[in-house]
Chain A
Amino acid sequence: MNIKDKMRKRLKLNRPSLRARARPPKHRSVCGSQFSAANLPGILQLQNCTDCGHVQYPPAELCGACLSSTLIYRETPCTGTLLAQSQLHHSLWEYFKRRIKKAPWPIASVQLDAGPVAIVHLVGNSFSTGDRVKVFSHSDASRSVVLLAVPESESIDTPALRRNIVDTIQLDQFAEHQQGI
Chain B
Amino acid sequence: MKDYGGVVLTTPISMGYARQSPHGAAWFVGSVLREMISAAGLTKKDVDGFSVSSFSLGIDSAVALTQHFGLCVRWLEQANVGGVSGILALRRAARAVQCGEADIVACIGGDGAAHRSFENTAAHFSSWSTDAAFPYGAAGPNGPFSLITAHYMERYQAQREDFARICLDQRYNANHYPQALLGHKELSLSDYLNARPIAGPLHLFDCVMPCAGGEGFLVMSEDRARRLRLPAVRILAADECHNAHADDPIQDRGGWTQYIESLYDRASVGPKDVDFLQTYDDYPVISMLQMEDLGFCKKGEAPDFLNKTDMRFDHSGPGVDKLPHNTSGGQLSCGQAGAAAGFLGVTESLRQLTGQSGANQVAKAQTGLVSGYGMVNYDRGICTAAAMLQGVDA
Chain A residues in the interface with B (C-beta under 8 A): 24-25, 27-29, 31-32, 35, 57-60, 83-93, 95-96, 104-105, 107-109, 111, 117-121, 129, 140, 144, 146
Contact = CB atoms under 8 A, between A and B. Distances in A.
B49 interface: no
Interface string B151-176: 10010000000000000000000000
B125 to A, nearest CB: 11
28 contacts: A24-B138, A25-B130, A25-B135, A27-B124, A28-B131, A29-B127, A31-B127, A32-B127, A58-B378, A83-B250, A84-B151, A85-B150, A85-B200, A86-B202, A88-B142, A88-B143, A89-B198, A90-B139, A91-B138, A93-B119, A96-B137, A105-B137, A107-B137, A107-B139, A117-B249, A118-B132, A119-B143, A119-B379
Interface in B101-132: 118-119, 122-124, 127-128, 130-132
Interface of B: 118-119, 122-124, 127-128, 130-140, 142-144, 146-148, 150-151, 154, 196-202, 249-250, 378-379
Contact of B198 (A60, A90, A118): A90
Contact of B138 (A85, A92, A144): A92
B143 A107 contact: yes
B140 A92 contact: yes
Given A29-B131, A86-B143, 19 more contacts: A25-B130, A32-B130, A58-B128, A60-B128, A84-B150, A86-B201, A88-B143, A89-B197, A90-B139, A90-B198, A91-B138, A91-B139, A92-B139, A93-B123, A96-B139, A117-B250, A119-B132, A119-B143, A119-B144
Q: Which applies to chain A's interface (DSSP): helix, strand, loop or mixed?
A: mixed
A88 B130 contact: no
Given A84-B250, A109-B250, A89 B131 contact: no
A25 B202 CA distance: 23
B140 to A, nearest CB: 5
Given A88-B146, A90-B142, A91-B137, A58 B131 contact: yes
B378 A92 contact: no
A31 B134 CA distance: 15
Contacts of A86: 143, 146-147, 150, 199-202
A31 B154 contact: no
B249 A96 contact: no
A28 B249 contact: no
Contact of B135 (A24, A60, A85): A24
